[in-house]
């Protein structure tokens, strides 16, 4: 796993966005896996800036989102459909028909999940999956105890996730209890993984995911099994890493390192 630590959230977001842009510049029809939540906002803003100012082109891109709350209509301001539209899609030129987000309102979740998995395959698989991490170590909504080979499915949110996400809703009772989420197994099939995390409240989860044992209790630790996983952290999120000095040393040496 490559661990890249930047001093600030802004620097971390820019570095992650540049990684995505590099992929689009070499593969304009890339399939991107998208995450929502507050962490990737800065990265999306930088991608939008690159689209406006530098002509970064999304016209051949296909996107698959990780998850969606069950029961929220797409027009609900806290739905991930709404989030993606407001924070990214409406500012770039991804064709609408190329964007896939799990449905939180389907009448048949099982059939929808199977279709979603099939659609990823039919589009050639995900080239780069963007991920955040929950304070309990979850990726997507794969809460502690999830199978590391799980597929897209309905999932009950953990109490900690409901607490964490209550900040976006008027009342805690309004936070949905269920979500539809890509599984850990689905995520691990992406050709590359890119996780972003910032803030002190993510420090424990980042340390557990990056340096702890691989366990279904911290589903982000499954990234250790992926050959091409990159993690972008700010200083606070990196504060509990034991190998911090080594990660910084690697970054310092990078300009002179042999090209792979
Ligand atoms: C969102 C998602 C979640 C978030 C995680 C962190 O699509 O998959 O796993 O990445 O809950 O959320 P924030 O960034 O709001 O702290």
pLDDT one-digit tens code per residue, 3-15 = 999 999 999 999 9
18 in active site:
no
pLDDT tens digits for range 202-249: 999 999 999 999 999 999 999 999 999 999 999 999 999 999 999 999
CA separation for the pair 27, 157 (Å, rounded) = 35
β partners of residue 195: 131, 231
CA separation for the pair 144, 211 (Å, rounded) = 17
CA separation for the pair 72, 58 (Å, rounded) = 28
Among the listed residues 19, 138, 164, 235, the single catalytic one is: 138
Stretches in the chain below the pLDDT threshold 70: none
235 in active site:
no
Protein residue with least CA distance to atom 11, ligand 1:
134
Instruction: Please indicate whether residue 143, judged by its CB atom, sits closer than 6 Å to ligand 1.
Output: no
What number of residues does the chain have? 260
Rounded to the nearest 5°, which phi and psi values hold at 148?
-75, -5
Q: How many whole angstroms from 244 Cα to the centroid of ligand 1?
A: 23
- The DSSP output letter for 201 is G
Question: Structure pTM?
Answer: 0.97
54 in active site:
no
3-state secondary structure of 196: strand
């Amino acid at each position: 796993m490559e661990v890249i630590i930047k001093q600030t959230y802004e620097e971390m977001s820019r570095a992650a966005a540049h990684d995505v842009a590099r992929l689009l510049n070499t593969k304009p029809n890339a399939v991107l896996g998208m995450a929502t939540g507050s962490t990737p906002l800065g990265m999306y803003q930088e991608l939008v800036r690159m689209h406006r100012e530098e002509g970064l082109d999304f016209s051949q891109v296909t996107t698959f989102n990780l998850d969606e709350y069950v029961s929220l209509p797409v027009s609900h301001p806290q739905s991930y459909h709404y989030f993606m539209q407001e924070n990214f899609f409406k500012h770039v030129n991804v064709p609408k028909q190329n964007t896939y987000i799990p449905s939180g309102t389907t009448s048949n979740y099982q059939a929808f999940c199977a279709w979603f998995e099939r659609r990823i395959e039919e589009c050639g698989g995900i080239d780069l999956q963007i991920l955040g991490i929950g304070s309990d170590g979850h990726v997507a909504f794969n809460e502690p105890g999830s199978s590391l080979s799980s597929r897209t499915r309905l999932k009950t949110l953990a109490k900690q996730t409901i607490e964490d996400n209550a900040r976006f809703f008027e009342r805690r009772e309004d936070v949905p209890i269920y979500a539809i989420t890509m599984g850990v197994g689905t995520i691990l099939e992406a050709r590359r993984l890119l996780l972003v995390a910032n803030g002190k409240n993510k420090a424990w989860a980042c340390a557990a995911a990056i340096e702890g044992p691989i366990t279904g209790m911290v589903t982000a630790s499954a990234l250790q099994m992926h050959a091409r996983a990159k993690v972008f952290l700010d200083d606070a999120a990196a504060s509990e890493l034991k190998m911090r000095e080594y990660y910084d040393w690697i970054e310092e040496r990078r300009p002179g390192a042999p090209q792979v």
